[in-house]
Amino acid sequence: MDSDLDSGLFGIQLSDSEDSNNDSEPAEGNQPKKRETCTTTDRTAQSEEEFQAVRKQYRVKVENGEIWKTIKLPLGSERVPKPEAQALLHAVEELYFFRRYDEGAQFVKTALGKSGDDSNEGMAPGLDDDTMKLLRYYERKCDEKAGHI
């Protein structure tokens, strides 16, 4: 072997797993294989009859500007879970998309717990800062589009 290849970056030794004396441990960089009992039938265990039964009961979820009706307000003082915060954002985004600006602005005001004036009293303390910023952004944009500003 050339002495230049014995050192540095290219001084990597490759080995075959059959060459190792300890066959119970995987070679470096290899993940242990899952049990061999996992077969393709495990992934498609549902029978055709079961599939057809589920298919008959399945209904497509159509969102048509009414997400805001599914959200329970007021939010309360405890931390709002991420899925609920996302639902708030989706609701106001949907109202904005359907050009229902008055409803969007009012929804955000209700969600943030604002009273009639522009004070920050009653702001929903359970929302994270990013969600609050986005809700305020959509409130401002809805007010602008509705001609309130």
Q: Which residues contact 88 (CB under 8 A, 6 or more apart)?
A: 71, 80, 111, 127, 131, 135
- CA–CA separation, 145 vs 149, rounded Å? 8
Confidence of residue 59 (pLDDT cuts 50, 70, 90): confident
This prediction has a pTM of 0.54
- Find, among 106, 128, 101, 126, the residue nearest to 116 by Cα: 106
Q: Average pLDDT, whole number, for the chain?
A: 76
**Reported confidence tier of residue 67, pLDDT bands at 50, 70, 90:** confident
CA distances in angstroms from 7 to 15, 16, 54, 134, listed in the order given? 17, 21, 63, 56
CA–CA gap between residue 94 and residue 97 (Å, rounded) = 5
Residue 142 has pLDDT above 90, yes or no: yes
Residue 48 DSSP one-character state: H
**Is the backbone of residue 129 left (phi > 0), alpha (psi -120 to 50) or beta?**
alpha
